Structure 1
């Protein structure tokens, strides 16, 4: 395994680091101020400074970096990983500026891999151009969505159309009026084998019978900075049969293909969040005095800082190994490592954020620092793309099989 940055990665990394220093960080307060001044706070992509930043990102070649192949930037997972880490320091702003924010990234990957020529022209192109936003509707309020085969939303073929009935919630980005297209997962054949019952359809926002019921809050935050999360209702929603993604019964497979790259993107951005938290923790520790000496002289604070550095270095190596495996043996071959980083990343970064908040005292809980919002975001990640327990169970089953096979080979 060789994790040294190649020439293109070094060039992009230097470019992005400079862009973060000269454009993103100075614009964070401006972005939030302009967003708060909108009549519709969910329309984050309509604030003037975002367009300026996006134009600058395009001019620098910092656009659609997440998407491999000729349609995107053509980067490997290993090349993109350190760039995603840097963008994570800018929370939602930096990924959005570079058109690399979820759930649009995953939806673009789905359309790139499985979309028809017509679907790509109608939806992928404007998404890649940043003209529209999108959402991915899988999680449901009435079933345990940790098991994706549980989805109860009904999809029934009726001539040249499909009819959708059901409910969804925690649908990220859905409150943004510019989220023009939704990828919706439901059941087309409840009698088929368990992983072949589901299908995915493209549903336009203004389709009759499709209703956005309410926005969801995450530990008190509405996350309007990237379009929020919503509860949705589908009542006899009719869409053309040509809106089917892949084929009938392929929904679960499409979902798995979508989640693999998304998990590594989440993990690298989370490492960027952790790095920013360590910086804030050290700055606060050096600038605050308690019991006659700076916090940075307190043994327990130094222990937290040292532990944070060790844990983040370990985590980064695991994530880079996973990226390398995805590039060399494919997502299926890297399945164990993808599960491992999904388990390790949120818990590790959550621990670091907890210590950074503690060092900041009550300020760490306030809106004066980004730590509380970071904490809420990372805590959410322990559910997003599958809860910890599901990944641990699958990883353990795989490890037991591997150990059993190894014993049999030796006997």
Structure 2
């Protein structure tokens, strides 16, 4: 059994020159033999020292200590220097929103759009901005925010648009406005369109503040102009959901805003906005196991004869016959499978196979503890990560 590494706190009383040696030492944690400054060598009691790990992969090289801490943070209230051993450079956390934005913004079809309004976007942890791989083709308008209260809406405006024809206004970190002036080619008619990009945080958010009151304010300011509201309200109501959908009390305020400013919801009723893990089980087609021979047999048998319809009704009837024939062929040649609540889009037989192989090699390495078993497990583990990541990304795109 491997021992867990224990963080050690050592309090030293040193001079300013010695503290400079400790703080400004070699980046690799090695003593500088060419320096004439005094060196500090720390020793701990035997009962505080870690036992040597039995892993064949450790002990080959000294572990590098992360020294990216400012000098002011190395002292406590008494002015003593505190050294914490075992701290390493933190890994970058996995952020799904960043990968979704990377997939969306790198799609070549995105260049066909003039305006992109995004919500729940990824925020750079070091500066007030977001992921922007289309810098040379789109302007990014990101509201001012802080790390504690990040912005959750932004606009991407195509550089092909005249910069004098639109104006960006920041109301809050969850509500931004794009005022666009549209002029006809003959310059006889000028119209204005105001786009509101809104994010209403869910009730489970910390320090939640509803954006509906701010939305009502800006709608009043731009009253008389054509206004479009784009956003995520995190509210449930039967007007844009299923009749059996639970209704949030805050939805009534949104309905009042829609009626007051004579707005129309463009979201059809009954549409599934987000298919969460509580979706009911249902039968779906198992396209990976389709019987192509059976499919061809039924297509030849059921497809109507080729003809050239002369009227619109005849064309509609002919297309209906073709669609019905294809559906019959699919029903007879493709098996059904039960959708599991634990299923993940993109998970394939290859993912399952490499996952089982990596788990088998991990158990083997736990029993043998040899260089060969560790190397085999390491290669399988890395390959598993690449295969699963590529499969899930492809499933998300589809």
TM-score after normalising by structure 2? 0.22
Structure (1/2) with the larger helix percentage: 1
- Higher relative contact order at CA 8 Å, sep ≥6: structure 1 or structure 2? 1
TM-score after normalising by structure 1? 0.21
Bigger Cα Rg: 2
